[in-house]
């Protein structure tokens, strides 16, 4: 059965939007001073701006997605960058389809 944490993480429109944007970060986010959008991920601050929420609110959404194993993080200087974990997402899809 698919992990309950993962299902709960996906049961939110804002978190689904984040996962969608991170599928193609170059199309959805401006270039960053630090970190490559594709290689390193997207800065949490840029995600907060795109979501239209405060940085702490965005951080909570990103924390939930990370704890569910759907995102990977990378620290560069004082910033945290987020990138989809494609392996984990593929495994979740397989587990979900197996249950349906």
Find out whether 85 and 95 touch, Cβ atoms under 8 Å.
no
What's the predicted TM-score (pTM) here?
A: 0.92
**47 Cα distance to chain centroid:** 9
SS3 assignment, position 78? coil
pLDDT digits (tens, 9 = 90+) for 7-31: 999 999 999 999 999 999 999 999 9
**How far apart are the C-alpha atoms of 72 and 40, rounded to whole Å?**
10
Bridge partner residues of 76 (DSSP): 79
pLDDT digits (tens, 9 = 90+) for 36-91: 999 999 999 999 999 999 999 999 999 999 999 999 999 999 999 999 999 999 99
The CATH class given to the 4-99 domain equals mainly alpha
Bridge partner residues of 72 (DSSP): 83
Q: Residue ranges per domain, the chain?
A: 4-99
């Amino acid at each position: 059965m698919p992990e309950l944490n993962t299902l709960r993480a996906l049961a939110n429109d804002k978190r689904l939007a984040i996962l969608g944007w991170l599928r193609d970060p170059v199309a959805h986010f401006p270039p960053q001073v630090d970190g490559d959008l594709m290689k390193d991920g997207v800065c949490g601050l840029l995600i907060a701006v795109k979501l239209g929420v405060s940085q702490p609110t965005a951080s909570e959404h990103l924390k939930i997605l990370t704890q569910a194993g759907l995102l990977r993080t990378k620290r560069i200087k004082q910033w945290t960058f987020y990138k989809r974990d494609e392996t984990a997402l593929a495994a979740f899809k397989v587990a979900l389809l197996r249950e349906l």
